[in-house]
Structure 1
Amino acid sequence: MTRPLQVLRTPEACFAQLPDFPYEPHYLEIDGLRYAYIDEGPRDGAPVLLMHGEPTWSYLYRKMIPGLVAAGHRVIVPDLIGFGRSDKPTERQVYSYAQHVRWMCDWLLAMDLRGLTLFCQDWGSLIGLRMLTTHPDRFARAVLANGGLPTGTVPVPRAFKLWRAFARWSPWFPIGRIVDSGCVAKLSPAEIAAYDAPFPGRRYRLAARLFPGFVPTTPNDPERAANEQAWAVLKRWDKPFLTLFSSRDPITRGGEKLFQRLVPGAQGQPHAITRGAGHFLQEDKGPELAQAIADFIRQTTVVDG
């Protein structure tokens, strides 16, 4: 008999004082795991899927949701398993890159989302681009910011190696301060506390600790083949594909060039570098990003007749 998955669920009281985040969470249970997500805007609006990364949660998108909703879009922002209000398995061996892709593909299918514009950053891209290439018929276009789809065949920046070592070995793992360090405009104490909110104890931070170690960095990585298969799909992807990287991210800076060169749908698009923004450009330039996405959708929407 299979033993039930052991999970933690962050008490709702931890989310009582979230500045500028009035959005009601929605929940979906799949195979005993509760997924949390934000779902704002008109149900018949063109849907935008915002995928967060490490070690954030849907709170990261609070500055982008209003602009996208004002433009008429349905905006869906899931919390990855292990993050935000979503359930957090307690056993290390449950987590892997492949498992996170499976979890989020299960959620995508259960939600029956179609016609999506994907916006993804950081781990949101490692997972989001796998979702897109596994179920390409559900996506109309994609926007990539400060992320990638590594196969382990290219050396990683020293900044990432330091971050990976810190996540693995440091006895101190202050998530809110980590997010703050990746922003150009510093966060307020209340915003730092909001990023800490889903992780009230050490056991709640397990996924956040593990994620850096799942990034493929060597040719023998177990996810190399799957990411190469995903790249094979991207190299045939002729739907619109936009890059919006930032100028002050030491980990992903310059990574947009590979996608612009290899993805057919990236040809001729209004790619831009977001000036004055760090790794978490959603914090530094959220309204500007929302406007760029809304403009991109409008410019690439085919109107019948």
Structure 2
Amino acid sequence: MKFLQRSFISSIAAFVCGCSSMPKSVEQWRTGLQYQKVGGETMAYRCYGDKTKPVVVLLHGLPTSSYLYRRIAPKIAEQGFYVITPDFIGFGASTKPVDDAAYNMDLQAKRLSQLLLNLNIQHYSVVAHDMGGLVGFELLISHSDQIQSFFVLNTTAYVDGFTPPPEMSMIAGSMGGVMTSMMSNPVTGELLTAKFIKDNMGHPERLTKEAKENYWWPMHEGATKPMRATAKNFSSIMARYPVYQAALTAYRGPSRILWGAKDKVLNFEKLSAQFSRDLKLTSAKVQRIDDAGHFLQEDYPDLVASNILYLLGDI
């Protein structure tokens, strides 16, 4: 009984002080990151391959980071491409401003454009997942002439077929502060973050301990801020969908769709049909993975990489 009491007291102390040391796996991942100042913030990113080769930019979503593509980017680079995986501001190792306005999608796109400009990159292909799709659509609006190809991975520009996850509604509400505190603190944070990722995978058993640590640690550092800001701003984001649809319709470059069909939030049949219509895709350009979920990069990284390479072969 005394042991249990001591353990409980230690857990409460950790919750109150919020202290925790960075996991070794996170330290190791971050040794490979680079940093650039963009729009007054510091953006972390990782590069793979020869910078003289065609450029591919892989965009993550909520609540992940460039780490999502750790097993995909190297395979693309090996086939003769220069791959860039950024951490959007508020995520991964990038800075995490307090102001909700810092997380507007157009601002995220402007920062990404500034990063690419700083790296002297004029033309590139985009692979967009989840919230990264919204940033990618903003790029289609402002820099379509620079985008050589566009790859869609479980994201949306349409209301029909999109069911916002209940966790996001809760985070936006009166209990949002409590929920984000629970996700960021050392006692419950890693467990809750891992549960969210695993609940949206087709094969949750494939999420490693190292992956759980790398997805949670940014939460501990403040990545819950953009999560809550995005949740509170859902209505404004969806109001911009028609503008995104117009940008997709106007786009003339090569494009493909790959979808984890067990996605609980984004319906494959409805959304792939709408994307296919606006991007003018034949069925051959659309592939579903029946037993993959929303985080198909964790379920089937090799298959995601090979499909991206198919698209790049169309440039």
TM range (shorter): 0.7 to 0.9
> How far does the alpha carbon of each residue in 1:173-217 deviate from its partner, in whole angstroms, 9 at most, with x for none?
33333222211222123321111122325x44211232233334x
Match of 1:175 among 182, 193, 198: 193
Give 1:39 deviation, angstroms. 0.7
Counterpart residue number, 1:200? 220
- Return the TM-score normalized by structure 1: 0.82
Counterpart residue number, 2:231? 212
Flag the 1:273–1:69 CA change in 2: closer, same or farther, 3 A.
Answer: same
Counterpart residue number, 1:129? 137
Rounded Cα–Cα distance in structure 1 between residues aligned with 2:27 and 2:290: 26
**Larger displacement relative to structure 2 (186-195 or 32-41):** 186-195
Flag the 1:269–1:20 CA change in 2: closer, same or farther, 3 A.
Answer: farther
> How far does the alpha carbon of each residue in 1:91-127 deviate from its partner, in whole angstroms, 9 at most, with x for none?
3344333433333333333334233111111001011
Matched position secondary structure for 1:176: helix
- Whichever residue aligns with residue 201 of structure 2, its letter is C
Counterpart residue number, 1:289? 304
Counterpart residue number, 1:79? 87
Alignment partner of 1:246 is 2:266: no
Superposed CA RMSD in Å reads: 2.5
Rounded Cα–Cα distance in structure 1 between residues aligned with 2:40 and 2:50: 29
Alignment partner of 1:115 is 2:123: yes
- Whichever residue aligns with residue 167 of structure 1, its letter is I
Flag the 1:208–1:67 CA change in 2: closer, same or farther, 3 A.
Answer: same
Rounded Cα–Cα distance in structure 1 between residues aligned with 2:23 and 2:44: 13
Matched position secondary structure for 1:17: helix
Counterpart residue number, 1:166? 170
5 Å-filtered alignment, 1:248-263, equals 248-254=262-268, 255-263=271-279
Rounded Cα–Cα distance in structure 2 between residues aligned with 1:15 and 1:47: 31
Rounded Cα–Cα distance in structure 2 between residues aligned with 1:84 and 1:167: 19
Counterpart residue number, 1:233? 247
Give 1:19 deviation, angstroms. 9.7
| Unaligned 5+ runs, structure 2 | 1-20, 184-191
Flag the 1:196–1:239 CA change in 2: closer, same or farther, 3 A.
Answer: same
- Whichever residue aligns with residue 31 of structure 1, its letter is G
Runs of 4+ in 1 over 6 A off after TM superposition: none
Query: Retained in 2: the 8 A contact 1:176–1:196?
Result: yes
Flag the 1:233–1:95 CA change in 2: closer, same or farther, 3 A.
Answer: closer
Alignment partner of 1:91 is 2:99: yes
Rounded Cα–Cα distance in structure 1 between residues aligned with 2:202 and 2:28: 19
Alignment partner of 1:280 is 2:295: yes
Rounded Cα–Cα distance in structure 1 between residues aligned with 2:76 and 2:23: 24
5 Å-filtered alignment, 1:22-171, equals 24-150=32-158, 154=160, 156-157=162-163, 160-168=164-172, 169=175, 171=179
Matched position secondary structure for 1:76: strand
Counterpart residue number, 1:10? none
| Unaligned 5+ runs, structure 1 | 1-12
- Whichever residue aligns with residue 307 of structure 2, its letter is A
Query: Retained in 1: the 8 A contact 2:127–2:151?
Result: yes
- Whichever residue aligns with residue 136 of structure 1, its letter is S
Give 1:277 deviation, angstroms. 0.7
Give 1:144 deviation, angstroms. 0.1
> How far does the alpha carbon of each residue in 1:223-270 deviate from its partner, in whole angstroms, 9 at most, with x for none?
73x543332232122211111111100211221110101223x34653
Rounded Cα–Cα distance in structure 1 between residues aligned with 2:237 and 2:71: 36
Matched position secondary structure for 2:53: coil
Query: Retained in 1: the 8 A contact 2:256–2:285?
Result: yes
Rounded Cα–Cα distance in structure 1 between residues aligned with 2:241 and 2:117: 20
Query: Retained in 2: the 8 A contact 1:14–1:198?
Result: no
